[in-house]
Structure 1
Amino acid sequence: MEIKAEVKSIEKLKDYFFVVPDYQREYVWAGDIHVARFLQDISDEFSPTARKQSNYFIGSTIIVKREDGAYDVVDGQQRLTTIVIALCAIRDILKNLDDLTDELDTVKSELYKVVKELLYKYDISTKKHTPRLSLQYEESKDYLNKLISEKSFTDTKTPSIRKMIEAYDTVSEYLIELKGDDPETLLNFISYFLANVEMVIIRPDDLGSALKIFETINERGVGLNAMDLLKNLLFSHAKEDDFEVIKNTWREMLKGLDESKEGDKPLRFLRYFLIARYHNGVIREDEIYKWMISSTGKEKIKYQSDPISFVKELKAAAYTYANFVKATNSWDADSTFPNITGIGYLSKKTSRQHLVLLMALPDNISTEITKLLAKNIESLVFYYAINRTLTKSYEALFANWANKLRLVKSLDDLKAFLNDDFNKELTEQQAKFDGQFSNKSQGDLNPQYRIKYILGKVEEYIRQKVNFPSANFSFYQSQQLEHILPQTGTNIPEQDYPQSYDYSNAVYRLGNLTLLEAPINQSLNYSNDISSDEWFVVKRTAYLNSNILLTRTFSQIQIGEQTKFNGFATERLKSFDRWNTLAINERQDILKRLIQDIWKLYL
């Protein structure tokens, strides 16, 4: 393997034409983070008044010569793209720099020539500009060429283009601030940027060698994340004839993640995918690449012997993951996996740990099996939420269960897992719930959408039992959370609530909460004087107008000739004549028994 490595200042990059191939990752540097740090690091080495400046090294770039004489960029495209964007910003500020002394005006003119030569070469025969850096990945949409050639860009702004625009603005703002009232400092900085900022240009003799060097340099994932490194691993072990397949499959995978708004978190997907399908136990993001290149990782995911099969598996898993994420994030019940939507309500919409279990199931598994697993996960997640169990305390358990779920081939296999493994944890969590629920309050279960979901599920359970029409999740979220004992109670009787916190504790108990239509709730805004039982009489009367059975039965345990409902309500619910701490305790117990019927083991 022949390798040439040379230290080059930015000024010397005029010796090259660079091409970022279409299989490379799009531009991702954030203006206010990466670009700002890039400028700050250079600025820290620059001395405005020094006659002799120290050089500043910004890293390495790996390139491979193409047949047309240009060079494909294998590593370093983020840095190179930022340099070219910075050169565009420098060109524009130089072009508009006026009112200089003759000496400074000469310096400005010479710098302007150098910068233009670094941005493109003008071909006299074709009368065209050839940019020094061309981005071939789809997300660039020729934006950089337009910026280099000073043409307006009117196409769709992709996330990559938006980041390039941010980078340009960050550099421009930095240069304007640096200039201030002293253009000489600005010119000195530009001179430093061109002559003293250096990088190592590494030129192997072929792409395979370049990718191997890339892998070696980044073995610890320095400056890159495991997703970027994995993509390059796939290319480094694939035949060049297969590059197009890998490139397109990778792009489709990212497109799938984008559809669920997870495109900016591909590493999270990769982590959960590996825990679900291949890794034994929990793996952290900073451990992923090291594991992938270990003997165990190579043996399990087989990216060396069959990179195409692995990238296709990643693509399929990304769409599965995206569908589960969309179901989790949905505010109405997902049409296929309503229990996954329930998991999102219970464990918060940002939660993703349950995806490890769902993704562990084989790709060809039936929807019926996935639905049953999701239904049971929702039961467990409910108890985790209400028992305030921390994610880290069950993450290892989920990773261990993933090993077993990978082997599930049939409904009987899943039921065996649920009986033998899952039910043990569920039973323990149910026991904690049983001992703690009597004291649970609103603060233990916020956010409010979670409480509405729980009360809505109880309502749906009642409706199902008595053959009443069901409502969707959005309906329950649109209701108001009614505090039966009012939050703004006045003339509070001391015999019932000796201390102020006694009243406050009672108000926020779950037994004191119900769902109520907004117009009815608004009509009760002034029922706050609780010195007598009159306030509750007013509320009980208003509750009779509610279509929510759980609320309506506060006042009336029977509804007309609805025999099935009346029988269920008489046995499982209760109406109340007075509302105080004893009544709240009793209703909390009613809720508890209903909840235990809803979130249980399903086989």
Structure 2
Amino acid sequence: MSKITNHKYSIEEAFRDCFYIVPDYQREYVWSDKEVNKLLEDLNNELEIGSNSEYFIGTILVSPTQDKKQFDVIDGQQRLTTFFLILCALKSLFKGEPQEGIINNLISTSYTNRDGDIEKSLKLNPKYENAEEVIKAILKSDNQPENIKSLLNAAGVSQFGALENIINAYTTIYQYLKSNYQKTATLKKYWGNLSNNIVFIQISTDVSSALKIFETINERGVGLNPMDLLKNLLFTNVKVEEFNKLKNEWKKITNPLETNKEKPLRFLRYFLMANYKITNHRSDGIVREDEIYDWFSKKENIAASNYKQEPFVFVRKIIKTVENFIELTEGKGNDGTDNVYMNNIRKLTGGGFSLHYVLLLAAYNLPKDLFDYLLKQLETFLFYFIITRTSTKILERNFSAWADELRTISLLTNYDAQKEQLNTFVLKRFKESTTQKQPELTDALKRYDFYSLQQYRTRYILAKFTQFVNMAYKGLTKPYSLNDYTNLEIEHILPDKPKDELLSAFNMHTNNVDKDYHQYKMKLGNLTLLEKPINIVAGRDFFKQKKEQYKMSKYYLTSSLTELSNVGKNTSITRINARLRTFGDEWTAKEIDERQQMLISLASEIWTIQPLND
């Protein structure tokens, strides 16, 4: 095997010093919104923690080409491509700032080839079919997501599979950064952390050796799993003849986490904060990933966990917590069955945000009805947190302290005492917090549009509005799954891609003076959910022509756009009608703003903290 070299790179160093080629024989870009969001949330959490320590993202396996500083990527292209797309988004967001030029040189730069000619090349160049054209379209579009597809369509480039994944990933990244780092100062801090503290190890050798290494890594795994460090600590406290027993028990921890692609260190943090009172020099109740081992070394924690005296009891406690954790991530309640509220929380938080598991693990032993009540109120609390973009750092500190309170309540043996104290907890922690944030929430919803948050969150919000109206229409009070709603099409009432005639009519209308069509087509008030067959027929026409199609929807929030059903007096139908309104033949900025305000009013009824006795 040829010589193998390795080098530690920060993100800025890597894209400054290297050109990365993704060969056409490699797997194409396959990351979905879930993986991209998870990476973005992890990076955001690292930034909000405020630590200056390095954040290791793994190894990248490459093979040098004949050209200086050019490498074929053998393993790690999903991560590299995603970070490259982050650079593309940052370049646009830093437009006019000094950072734009630096980042631009990390995206593409000139170099001298072996013939002495000057060439310009992308710093990451995917060679599978049309991928390079997609990257160039992203850059040519001035990094605006809505322009990318039109450029590719004009060039005759189809967008499917990996190409669509790249476009979707870039759009997710751009909107995430634009929404969460609106001020230049916060964006600069994000870039400073990304460029300096995010690091990886680059292993380089010839392509045949690199492929062999890749094969070996996949066959055998590499290094110690972080959980193994804790396992080794426990091994020192068991007899030699019990090693196999401990090893087999430990697999009940690691295997489920690996199968469900959960990060062991993150789980360990949640386990500790959910099960023990955390004290540290910061007095924030938080255990960071690099502090986990130190936690186990302190006398008071050795005593609290008792892992030295009873290592197998401690291991079984972790096993049980893993089981509970996995069931929660699968949308189940503490009885092991599918849970409406837990599934709603999953749809709201997605794959990246997971701090709420600290609270849920601490409260897991509550009776089912009390646990369900907590889940319902937690959904509302998280909605306020996510829409108002409250700092994750603040939330983490609160959740660690609140976990101590919930753990105490769950340990009570008297049901009435549990019920009373849980009610007090919800009113004090959730009700007071959301009441204080009500003005922030209203302001955020006034400004909310299709790109304010990730698409799955916008879909969740529209689904909740639609379900609430349908339930009120039918007089239903018992909640049911959101699945039927989140699978619907998101319809832009003012079309996303308007015909020239429609765009001209909008611009000439007196209600639309100084109003930007492309801004209003994305506003929350312009969005509704619609069955796919109806959406196809409705097409890109004027509102007046689409009204007949909307009437056919079985979802009353959509059908009521054009007509209200009037059945009896003081019925469930007339009561919900009082909170809705119909619209005439015109659909202008005025109507969109009015409907957005109507939805804001509905939101105050949908997402509300309720006392347990109600």
Fold conserved (TM > 0.5)? yes
Whether the 8 Å contact between 1:282 and 1:395 is mirrored in structure 2 is: yes
Q: What is the aligned partner in structure 1 of residue 511 from structure 2?
A: 496
- Name the CA shift for 1:225/1:488 in 2 (closer, same or farther; >3 Å): closer
Alpha-carbon separation, structure 2, partners of 1:503 and 1:241: 74
Query: Is 1:567 matched with 2:574?
Result: yes
Aligned residue-pair number: 382
Q: In the alignment, residue 272 of structure 1 is paired with which amino acid? A: Y
Alignment pair present for 1:579 and 2:587: yes
In structure 2, C-alpha distance between the alignment counterparts of 1:285 and 1:339, rounded to whole Å: 29
- Which residue of the partner structure matches residue 55 of structure 1? none
Q: What are the residue-to-residue correspondences of 1:122-521 with 2, within 5 Å? A: 173-174=208-209, 226-262=226-262, 265-280=263-278, 281-327=285-331, 335-361=337-363, 364-408=365-409, 409=412, 410-447=418-455, 449-467=456-474, 472-489=481-498, 490-491=503-504, 492-494=506-508, 495-499=510-514, 502-521=516-535
| Structure 1 residue 559 displacement after superposition | 5.3
Instruction: Provide the rounded CA distance (Å) in 2 between the counterparts of 1:175 and 1:441.
Output: 46
What amino acid sits opposite 1:509 in the alignment?
K
Matched residue type, 1:487: D
Deviations 1:338-397 (A, max 9, x none): 222212222222321110110112x53222222121111110111122212342331111
How many Å separate the matches in 1 of 2:208 and 2:307? 44
Contact 1:226 1:285 in 2 (8 A): no
- For structure 1, the 5+ residue unaligned runs are 1-31, 38-168, 179-222, 528-534
Q: Secondary structure at the match of 2:491?
A: strand
Helix, strand or coil for the counterpart of 2:451? Answer: helix
Paired residues of 1:559 and 1:565 also in contact (CA < 8 A): no
Mapped to 1, the partners of 2:436 and 2:512 lie a distance apart of 35
Residue 601 in 1 paired to residue 609 in 2? yes
Secondary structure in 2 matching 1:515: strand
Q: Please report the TM-score for the alignment, with normalisation by the length of structure 2.
A: 0.57
Answer yes or no: is the 8 Å Cα contact 2:340–2:480 preserved in 1: no
In structure 1, give the amino acid aligned to 2:520. A
Question: What is the alpha-carbon distance in structure 2 between the residues aligned to residue 502 and residue 247 of structure 1?
Answer: 63
Corresponding residue for 2:554? 547
Alpha-carbon deviation of 1:175? Answer: 8.6
Q: Is the 8 A contact 1:328 1:340 kept in 2?
A: yes
Whether the 8 Å CA contact 1:544–1:555 is kept in 2: the answer is yes
Whether contact under 8 Å (2:489, 2:530) holds in the other structure is yes
Select the structure of larger CA radius of gyration: 1
Q: Name whichever of 242-251 and 567-576 sits farther off.
A: 242-251
In 1, distance between residues paired with 2:490 and 2:338?
Answer: 28
Q: Cα RMSD (Å) of the superposition?
A: 3.1
CA distance in 2, matches of 1:226, 1:258: 12
Unpaired stretches in structure 2, ≥5 consecutive residues: 1-56, 63-203, 214-222, 279-284, 413-417
The one-letter code sitting in structure 2 at the alignment partner of 1:349 is: G
Q: Which has the higher contact order (CA 8 A, sep 6+)?
A: 2
CA 1:404–1:266 in structure 2 vs 1: closer, same or farther (change >3 Å)?
same
CA distance in 1, matches of 2:569, 2:462: 22
Residue identity (%): 31
Q: Could you tell me which amino acid in structure 2 is paired with residue 392 of structure 1?
A: K
Paired with 1:314 and 1:176, the residues of 2 have a C-alpha distance of: 37
Cα deviation for residue 312 of structure 1 reads: 0.6
What is the distance in 2 between the residues matched to 1:562 and 1:453? 32
Which letter does structure 2 place at the counterpart of 1:354?
A: H
Amino acid at match of 2:512: Y
Alpha-carbon shift at residue 292 of structure 1 (Å): 0.8
CA 364–474 in structure 1, closer or farther in 2 if over 3 Å, else same? closer
3-state DSSP of counterpart to 1:413? helix
Q: Displacement of 1:565 after TM fit?
A: 4.1
Contact 1:245 1:308 in 2 (8 A): no
Specify the alignment match of 1:92 in structure 2. Answer: none
Q: Quick one: structure 1 residues 395 and 364, their matched pair in 2 at CA, closer, same or farther if it must change by over 3 Å?
A: closer
Letter in 2 for 1:303: Y
